[in-house]
A and B are shown apart, each in its own frame.
Chain A
Amino acid sequence: MGETEDGMRPKKVVFVTVGTTCFDVLVKVVDSLEVKDELLGRGYPSLLIQMGRGSYLPTKSTGDDGSLAVDYFTFSSSIADHMSSASLVISHAGSGSIFETLRLGKPLIVVVNEDLMDNHQSELVEELAERKHLYCAHPQTLHQTIVGMDLKSLLPYSPGDATPVAKLLIRFLGFPED
């Protein structure tokens, strides 16, 4: 990201997103002293929470007193901007959020929502965690995961390409391929 004119490093923001879901359990855990202290200790001065349809409101803080700066909002039309400026993303297990983050090359911790029925989301998260593209956690293990994480050990994710599928469709339909 580079340094700003006055030589100060840009703030390292931890961005938390729950997409369009309600995931109060995650927001509460992130808002806990335990997690906030751990993030601060790891050099993240700022926490931004996108809380979606949740009803739990985190405690805002300016961080002027040396504590973690915390802010939140429900939805935004420019989630991509917040993700781009984040140094660490903690996300729910929605595939949209996951791949948006991975394609931006941001370190990612995915937290699986155990309250969801038929949790097919965890399949994807487990597979990507196995391939070392992200860390996988449950709300109760988030703190542990942050303590033990080594972001340099994460492998970059190469974005996929849908062009081969487009070519297959064209060929199947009998169109001339150019």
Chain B
Amino acid sequence: MIHAVLIFNTSGVPRLTKFYTPLQQSSQTLVQKIYSLVSSRQASLCNFLDAPELESFLGQTDDNGEKLRVVYRNYATLYFVFVVDSAESELGILDLIQVFVESLDRAFENVCELDLVYHFDEAHHILSEVIQGGLVLETNVEEIDRAVQEAAKARKESFASANPLSLGGGGVGSRGGTLQTPLHWITDRLTGVRAR
């Protein structure tokens, strides 16, 4: 089962948090804990790690007594993190993160961090098309996109698509100054270089 989906930026500021298991402690401390686990990892390490220390947050291990795992990918300024138990394959979850990011990209056209900040509700909706109650609902990007489009026809255009020339510009906020950097998932895929 998927216990949590978190998106935070490279400074540890949360952009989306969704928990499928009741939290035993505050979500802020959990995000910080996971940020500290993930942000220090180098590219020479796998995109997943055992995190038994998260038990006290999510309050359980699975039936086999196996520990929780953190599966993550880093796209540009954002970390996409899934906390799962051993019923889920860590390699399958990596694929699922890619599906989620592609779906966000379809919805926002060249998705960037700023889209998640201003379209907080939309990001939640897209996530709910991919995962329901900690279980995978849909993995077909076309289908997810269709559902999202149907539900929100009047959605405003993303900042990146509306202002292609201003990419990388703008002032620097203290919570991170690269909010408009596209995630470049497609480039990564075409060149065969996996996102971290």
- Asked if A and B are interacting partners, one says no
